[in-house]
């Protein structure tokens, strides 16, 4: 008798559960988030255009430098500077994607390392016979070395009268152009692999994208701002570590780097295309999603408020720069801890700033 009653109870519960599921509104059953769609959007609307634009910018830089070599005058030097700046700003987006072909070719280190070793640059120019791909020249190539060559006081005179000086700058530009053409060509073949790797294992494209997004954010925070202003050296300022010190472009590069990170976070446009923001919303973490975007806006607007170069502001407004640094630091918890935890992604790179 008890056995029959128990069976009847279980049968009733099963019928109630079945009825509950059958009566549920189909719209209330949330489909799984398609990370392949997110990666496809990032690949097609962010990475591919950024890579193509950067390759075009380097070609423009090469062309304007050829004109400078032919006619070394101020107008042509200014044209080279403008093309160098355009490429350097575009680099702020490209550098985020340091995986696949970009990493395989070691392009990030060969292009964006700073500060430059001016003694090594001058030695190369004086002696010739240099190998720009050697480890000895890691700090004597890329955008930073060109910042030193294009913006030094006697730059035009050197371009006019010193063939070795001109040749070295030309070789730096040619190196970036040739090597990135290789990277961009390989990206076309790598893209299907990138789009298909939607898992959260450390080798998946999605995990690599999340990791490099975070790593680039922290490098931006530390190298572009924290180290020069001294927050990581007991308040001792280190102006020799300022990015693009000769051109005074450092704060603009910091701002562009934050804008680039926000583009990736939003998937290029919050109203079209999927990014990390959309994934967080799907995971019912809308508050976090909005908070991260709001913080990016605050950081970008804060940088906009500075009037001088970073070096000038270090002399007159160090408190403002420290406030900016700690505003940027606040975002680290949002994206490195909360966002990655929601995504189920493990941070695998190493940092040493004790965030």
pLDDT of amino acid 32:
84
Measured CA to CA in angstroms, residue 221 lies from 73, 210, 326 at distances of 37, 17, 9
Q: How far apart are CA 186 and CA 198, in angstroms?
A: 20
Q: How far apart are CA 59 and CA 56, in angstroms?
A: 5
CATH number, span 31-190: 1.20.1420.20
Q: Which residues contact 330 (CB under 8 A, 6 or more apart)?
A: 295
Measured in whole angstroms, how far is the alpha carbon of residue 261 from the centre of its chain? Answer: 6
pLDDT of amino acid 271:
63
pLDDT in tens, 229-287: 999 899 999 999 999 999 999 999 999 999 999 999 999 865 668 999 999 999 999 99
pLDDT of amino acid 350:
78
Q: Is the dihedral of CA 345, 346, 351, 355 positive or negative?
A: positive
Structure tokens belonging to residue 248: 């005074």
pLDDT of amino acid 30:
66
pLDDT of amino acid 15:
44
Residues of the chain with pLDDT under 50: 1, 3-6, 8-28, 353-355
């Amino acid at each position: 008798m008890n056995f029959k009653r128990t069976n009847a109870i279980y049968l009733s519960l099963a019928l109630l559960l079945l009825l509950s599921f059958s009566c549920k509104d189909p719209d209330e059953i949330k489909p799984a988030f398609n990370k392949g769609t997110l990666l496809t959007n990032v690949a097609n609307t962010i990475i591919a255009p950024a890579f193509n634009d950067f390759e075009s910018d380097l070609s423009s830089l090469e062309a304007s430098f050829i004109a400078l070599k032919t006619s070394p005058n101020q107008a042509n030097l200014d044209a080279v500077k403008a093309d160098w700046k355009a490429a350097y700003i575009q680099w702020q987006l490209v550098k985020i994607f340091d995986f696949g072909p970009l990493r395989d070719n070691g392009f990030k280190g060969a292009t964006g390392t700073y500060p430059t070793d001016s003694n090594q640059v001058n030695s190369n120019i004086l002696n010739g016979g240099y190998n720009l791909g050697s480890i000895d020249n890691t700090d004597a190539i890329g955008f930073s070395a060109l910042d030193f060559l294009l913006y030094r006081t006697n730059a035009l005179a050197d371009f006019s009268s010193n063939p070795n000086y001109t040749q070295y700058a030309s070789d730096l530009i040619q190196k970036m152009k040739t090597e990135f053409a290789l990277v961009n060509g390989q990206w076309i073949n790598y893209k299907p692999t990138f789009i298909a790797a939607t898992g959260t294992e450390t080798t998946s494209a999605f995990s690599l994208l999340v990791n490099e997004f975070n790593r680039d954010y922290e490098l931006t925070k530390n190298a572009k701002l924290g180290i020069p202003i001294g927050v990581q050296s007991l308040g001792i300022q280190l102006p020799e570590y300022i990015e693009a010190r000769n051109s005074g472009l450092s704060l603009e590069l910091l701002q562009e780097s934050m804008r680039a990170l926000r583009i990736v976070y939003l998937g290029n446009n919050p109203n079209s295309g999927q990014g990390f923001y959309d994934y967080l919303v799907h995971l019912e973490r809308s508050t976090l999603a909005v908070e991260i975007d709001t913080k990016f806006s605050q950081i970008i607007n804060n940088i906009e408020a500075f009037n001088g170069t970073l070096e000038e502001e270090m002399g007159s407004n160090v408190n403002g720069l420290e406030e900016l640094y700690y505003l940027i630091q606040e975002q680290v918890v949002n994206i490195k801890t909360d966002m990655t935890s929601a995504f189920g992604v493990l941070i695998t790179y190493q940092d040493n700033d004790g965030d």
